[in-house]
Amino acid sequence: MQSSTHIQANPNAIQPAYPSILDIQAYQIGKPIDELTRELGLTDVVKLASNENPLGCSPKVTLAITQELGGLARYPDGNGYYLKQTISDKTQTDLEQITLGNGSNDILDLIARTFVSSDDAVIYSQYAFVVYQMVTKMQGATGVEVPAKRYGHDLEAMLDGVKNNANAKVVFIANPNNPTGTLLTHDDVRAFASQVDALNKSEHRQVLVVLDEAYIEYSPESNNRALLDEFDNVILVRTFSKAYGLAGLRVGYAISSPAVSEMMNRLRQPFNVNTLAQVAAIASLQDDAFIDTCRTMNEQQRRWLCKQCDVLGLAFVPSSANFVMIEVGDGQAVYQALLEQGVIVRPLVGYGLPNWVRVTVGTPEDNTRLIDTLTDVLETV
């Protein structure tokens, strides 16, 4: 029998639904700790590559999951009633405005599958979260990548993108942005949403503005929840994978107008959020003190990391999230050298940023290890 490693992939054997799928690079995940341990025999590995919460999750979550373990023979609540209820209380929205996802990537995928056809265009920024262009290509639609301004979104240019592309259907905005950490002010986002709304009304268009707030717990001042009361075409996307520390359980959500949510729920897999994820997400929303602790540690440690970059003479982009993008020279070589010392960071070649790496803000011990190792590595690379 042939082992799978002997099977030659033949890209011409079967054609995907849209030719643009051939251009998609599979999503580059942060290297898992176990994989590095297996490959290099290292025992003491620090992962600062996927913007996970180094403090884990609230103890209330652990308790809630444990109490639920006896019920796993049953399907999850396909409507996620109690989770939606908790999100609704937290965000002051109606249940009909909430769509649950298997992580927020599931929501981004759902937005594209529901609203974007191959005749449409999707607007996103250079250096914005890579999944926006992936879901655009998935639908065979035209991606319009707008040049970034100081590594962040240039909303004026993005508005021009909407104006100049009559078939624009969705605008994706990550705020704060991954991987650059840049933040747009509430006023700037509101002005953008308002101008797109005016365009929709005057030109009978239906452009949706998606605000991806995966890191919003780290910069609550830019929470754009209020826009939902003003504009029907705004969708907020959030996740439990970052500050809430539930990346392994896969749960995220969108809040939008009821009409947008109703449409997305037609395509949503009925049991896309599993039982443990639902109870964990509910419990995590009931522990504000845990989030406050995480935010405070993140701010202190991010400041410390940036100060160490100054000491090392390394440029960085000021960040509003739980990671920092640092200019290290040959990003891939530095990534590899750090990996060999048991420190996993994220190279950014795929984002067109070959001189940079992105590091997640860890605990004080993690960050000291990173800076010590980086100091050594920079002498040799």
Ligand X SMILES: Cc1ncc(COP(=O)(O)O)c(C=O)c1O
Q: Which residues bind ligand X (CB under 6 A)?
A: 51, 103-105, 129, 174, 178, 212, 214, 239, 241, 247, 252
Query: By C-beta, is 21 or 247 nearer to ligand X?
Result: 247
Query: By C-beta, is 47 or 337 nearer to ligand X?
Result: 47
Minimum gap (Å) between residue 368 Cβ and ligand X: 25
Per-residue 3-state assignment (H helix, E strand, C coil) for the chain: CCCHHHCCCCCCCCCCCCHHHHHCCCCCCCCCHHHHHHHHCCCCCEECCCCCCCCCCCHHHHHHHHHHHHHCCCCCCCCCHHHHHHHHHHHCCCHHHEEEECCHHHHHHHHHHHHCCCCCEEEEECCCCCHHHHHHHHCCCEEEEECCECCECCHHHHHHHHHHCCCEEEEEEECCCCCCCCCCCHHHHHHHHHHHHHHHHHHCCCCEEEEECCCHHHCHHHCCCCHHHHCCCEEEEEECCCCCCCHHHCCEEEECCHHHHHHHHHHCCCCCCCHHHHHHHHHHHCCHHHHHHHHHHHHHHHHHHHHHHHHHCCCEECCCCCEEEEECCCHHHHHHHHHHCCEECEECHHHCCCCEEEEECCCHHHHHHHHHHHHHHHHHC
Query: By C-beta, is 49 or 377 nearer to ligand X?
Result: 49
Query: By C-beta, is 45 or 49 nearer to ligand X?
Result: 49
Query: By C-beta, is 133 or 200 nearer to ligand X?
Result: 133
**Which residue has the CB atom at the shortest distance from ligand X?**
103
Contact by Cβ (8 Å): 165, 207: no
Minimum gap (Å) between residue 129 Cβ and ligand X: 4
Beta-carbon count within 10 A of 220 CB: 10
Phi, psi of 313 (to 5 degrees): 70, 30
Query: By C-beta, is 115 or 371 nearer to ligand X?
Result: 115
Q: What is the sign, positive or negative, of the torsion defined by CA atoms of 339, 344, 349, 353?
A: negative
Query: By C-beta, is 51 or 222 nearer to ligand X?
Result: 51
Minimum gap (Å) between residue 102 Cβ and ligand X: 8
Minimum gap (Å) between residue 208 Cβ and ligand X: 16
Minimum gap (Å) between residue 132 Cβ and ligand X: 9
Minimum gap (Å) between residue 106 Cβ and ligand X: 7
Minimum gap (Å) between residue 125 Cβ and ligand X: 12
Query: By C-beta, is 276 or 337 nearer to ligand X?
Result: 276
Minimum gap (Å) between residue 271 Cβ and ligand X: 17
